[in-house]
């Protein structure tokens, strides 16, 4: 099978490798679509993410969909949950599978991801796609799940106010989810013009730049600040803006991944406001809910895809995603 494997910073090589053998409790899935995530860009640009570094050549890609070739769902199109938790530790037994210390995650550490023709994946992590959902949209159920988990942590209430700080693909999804959750005012904070336009299309009531928030622009929209601020940019600047946007007693969810594996903010501001600050890690059992939200039309995934490449163009796909001139880049893998 064809495989795109990362050998070092910016060194992505397409080659041929043997297919994995079938295993009990696993299905063979022909991969059809892979989204490139900001965390993939960390691996590509920096050779790692957080405290994980590239120790051996790695196949990236954790947002993916495909067609089951062998297994209980043979012939079905599926979205694939990339996280294989141990299901035995204290975290898993308490229902926090995303916090499992033994989790194996596609395209991370020593676990190969989806930028290849086929994967062998646990049956219980395959989620059938509705007939009207494209394979590319199926791949985007993973970032939708990340956004859904972040808003879950924020306890967004019907009639509440929400700020989404950072409007890349996950931010755009969070805007739609906040609207679907019944927030009366959704404020997006984003400096890039094309993302500003997208945030308006996806339902933000107001879009401000970080500078406008610092200059008091949010106060004219939501006096006193928002109930929930969700940061999805991975920079200290975005964290600072989220804290500024939050009202006293609010919840601030940090979902962005910083390049230097360190986050700092002004403690006195957070302390005076009595903020609850939560760290969001990936998702936790969100695929069924994500599929239901797309099926009923509460979330629209298709317009997020702005760049499409074939597997042979994987290097070009990463370069396009790194330029951040669009929203979501998808690698479509054809037989």
CATH of the domain at 58: 3.90.180.10
Verify that 135 and 152 share a domain, yes or no. no
Average pLDDT over every residue of 79-102: 96
Which value, to the nearest 10 degrees, does the dihedral of the CA atoms of residues 318, 1, 123, 310 take?
A: 30
Instruction: Answer yes or no: is 290 within a domain.
Output: no
Instruction: State CA 213 to chain mean position distance.
Output: 25
pLDDT tens track for 233-249: 999 999 999 999 999 99
pLDDT at 193: 96
Instruction: Answer yes or no: is 76 within a domain.
Output: yes
pLDDT tens track for 95-126: 999 999 999 999 999 999 999 999 999 999 99
**What's the token pair of residue 161?**
């106010």
**Residues of the chain above pLDDT 90, percent:** 95
Instruction: Answer yes or no: is 42 within a domain.
Output: yes
The residue segments making up the domain with residue 84 are 2-140+301-332
pLDDT at 51: 87
Verify that 112 and 210 share a domain, yes or no. no
Verify that 123 and 216 share a domain, yes or no. no
pLDDT at 99: 95
Calpha distance 71→92 (Å, rounded): 25
Handedness of CA 7, 10, 16, 17 (dihedral sign): positive
Verify that 113 and 217 share a domain, yes or no. no
Q: What is the mean pLDDT of the chain?
A: 96
Verify that 130 and 150 share a domain, yes or no. no
Instruction: Answer yes or no: is 148 within a domain.
Output: yes
Q: Does residue 260 surpass a pLDDT of 90?
A: no
Q: What are phi and psi of 259, to 5 degrees?
A: -65, -35
Tell me the CATH number at 234.
3.40.50.720
Average pLDDT over every residue of 308-320: 95
Mutual angle of helices 169-180 and 141-154, in 10-degree steps: 60
pLDDT at 6: 96
Verify that 179 and 104 share a domain, yes or no. no
Verify that 89 and 160 share a domain, yes or no. no
Q: Does residue 259 surpass a pLDDT of 90?
A: no
Verify that 20 and 75 share a domain, yes or no. yes
Q: Does residue 137 surpass a pLDDT of 90?
A: yes
Instruction: Answer yes or no: is 62 within a domain.
Output: yes
Instruction: Answer yes or no: is 98 within a domain.
Output: yes
pLDDT at 287: 97
pLDDT tens track for 11-67: 999 999 999 999 999 999 999 999 999 999 999 999 998 889 999 999 999 999 999
Instruction: Answer yes or no: is 285 within a domain.
Output: no
Q: Does residue 133 surpass a pLDDT of 90?
A: yes
Residues 6+ apart with CB under 8 A from 86: 92, 100, 102, 103
Verify that 41 and 61 share a domain, yes or no. yes
Instruction: Answer yes or no: is 258 within a domain.
Output: yes
pLDDT at 150: 98
Verify that 219 and 234 share a domain, yes or no. yes
pLDDT at 232: 97
Verify that 6 and 136 share a domain, yes or no. yes
**What's the token pair of residue 310?**
């074939």
pLDDT band at 135 (very low <50, low <70, confident <90, very high): very high
pLDDT at 43: 92
Mutual angle of helices 314-323 and 38-46, in 10-degree steps: 110
Domains in the chain, number: 2
Verify that 148 and 270 share a domain, yes or no. yes
- What does the H/E/C string look like for the chain? CEEEEEEECCEEEEEECCCCCCCCCEEEEEEEEEEECHHHHHHHHHCEECCEECCCCECCCCEEEEEEEECCCCCCEEEECCEECCCCCHHHHCCCHHHCCCCEECCECCECCCCECEEEEEHHHEEECCCCCCHHHHHCHHHHHHHHHHHHHHCCCCCCEEEEECCCHHHHHHHHHHHHCCCCEEEEECCCHHHHHHHHHCCCCEEECHHHHHCCCHHHCCCCCEEEEEECCCCHHHHHHHHHHEEEEEEEEECCCCCCCCCCCCHHHHHHHCCEEEECCCCCCCHHHHHHHHHCCCCCCHHHEEEEEEHHHHHHHHHHHHHCCCCEEEEECCC
């Amino acid at each position: 099978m064809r495989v795109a494997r990362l050998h070092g910073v910016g060194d992505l090589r397409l080659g041929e490798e043997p297919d994995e053998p079938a295993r009990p409790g696993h299905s063979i899935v022909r991969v059809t679509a892979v989204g490139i995530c900001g965390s993939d860009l960390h691996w590509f640009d920096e050779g790692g993410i957080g405290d994980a570094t590239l120790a051996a050549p790695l196949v990236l890609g954790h947002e993916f969909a495909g067609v089951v070739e062998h297994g209980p769902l043979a012939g079905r199109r599926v979205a694939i949950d990339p996280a294989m938790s141990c299901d035995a530790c204290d975290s898993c037994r308490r229902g926090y599978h995303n916090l499992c210390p033994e989790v194996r995650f596609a395209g991370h550490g020593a676990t190969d991801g989806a930028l290849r023709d086929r994967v062998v994946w646990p049956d219980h992590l395959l989620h059938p796609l509705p007939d009207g959902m494209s394979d590319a949209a199926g791949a985007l159920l993973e970032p939708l799940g990340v956004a859904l988990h972040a808003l879950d942590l924020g306890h967004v209430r019907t009639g509440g106010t929400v700020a989404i700080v950072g409007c890349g693909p996950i931010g755009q999804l969070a805007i739609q989810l906040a609207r679907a959750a019944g927030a009366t005012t959704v404020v997006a904070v984003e400096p890039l013009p094309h993302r500003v336009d997208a945030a308006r299309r996806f339902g933000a009531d107001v879009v401000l730049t970080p500078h406008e928030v610092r200059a008091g622009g949010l106060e004219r929209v939501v006096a006193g600040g928002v109930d929930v601020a969700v940061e999805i940019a991975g920079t200290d600047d975005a964290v600072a803006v989220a804290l500024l946007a939050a009202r006293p007693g609010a919840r601030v969810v940090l979902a962005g991944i910083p390049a230097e594996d360190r986050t700092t903010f002004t403690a006195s501001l957070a302390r005076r406001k009595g903020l609850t600050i939560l760290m969001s890690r990936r998702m936790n059992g969100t695929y069924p809910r994500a599929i239901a939200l797309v099926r009923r039309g509460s979330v629209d995934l298709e317009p997020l895809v702005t760049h499409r490449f074939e597997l042979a163009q994987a290097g070009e796909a990463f370069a396009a995603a790194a330029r951040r001139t669009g929203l979501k880049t998808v690698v479509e893998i054809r037989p």
